[in-house]
Amino acid sequence: MSIAQQQPKHNRPLVLKADTYRRMPWKNGGGETTEIAVFPQDADLATFGWRVSMATVGSDGPFSVFPGIDRTLSILQGDGMELRIAGRAPVVLTQASEPLAFPADAPTSARLVSDTIIDLNVMTRRGQWVHQVEKRIVEGQHHLDAEGGVTLLLSLGNIRIDCGDHAVELARLDCAILEGIVLITSDMPTEAYLIHISPV
The answer to which of 55-59, 130-134, 184-188, 192-196 has the lowest mean pLDDT is: 55-59
Query: What structural domains does the chain harbor?
Result: 4-16+131-199 (2.60.120.10), 20-127 (2.60.120.10)
Residue 153 contacts residue 184 (beta carbons within 8 Å): yes
Average confidence score pLDDT of the chain: 91
Cα–Cα distance for residue pair 96/30, rounded to 1 Å? 25
Residues 99-154 pLDDT 10s: 999 999 999 999 999 999 999 999 999 999 999 999 999 999 999 999 889 999 99
Residue 175 contacts residue 134 (beta carbons within 8 Å): no
Q: What is the pLDDT of residue 6?
A: 47
pTM (2 d.p.)? 0.90
Cβ within 8 Å of residue 3, ≥6 positions away: 39, 40, 41, 150
- Pick the closest to residue 152 from 107, 127, 182, 128 (CA basis): 182
Residues 45-54 pLDDT 10s: 899 999 999 9
In sequence order, what DSSP letters do the residues of the chain get, joined into one string?
A: --HHHHSPGGGPPEEE-GGG-EEEE-TTSSSEEEEEEEESTT--TTT-SEEEEEEEE-S-EEPPP-TTEEEEEEEEESS-EEEEETTS--EEE-TTSPPEEEETTS-EEEEESSS-EEEEEEEEETTTEEEEEEEEEEEEEEEEEEEEEEEEEEESS-EEEEETTEEEEE-TT-EEEEEEEEEEEEEEEEEEEEEEEEE-
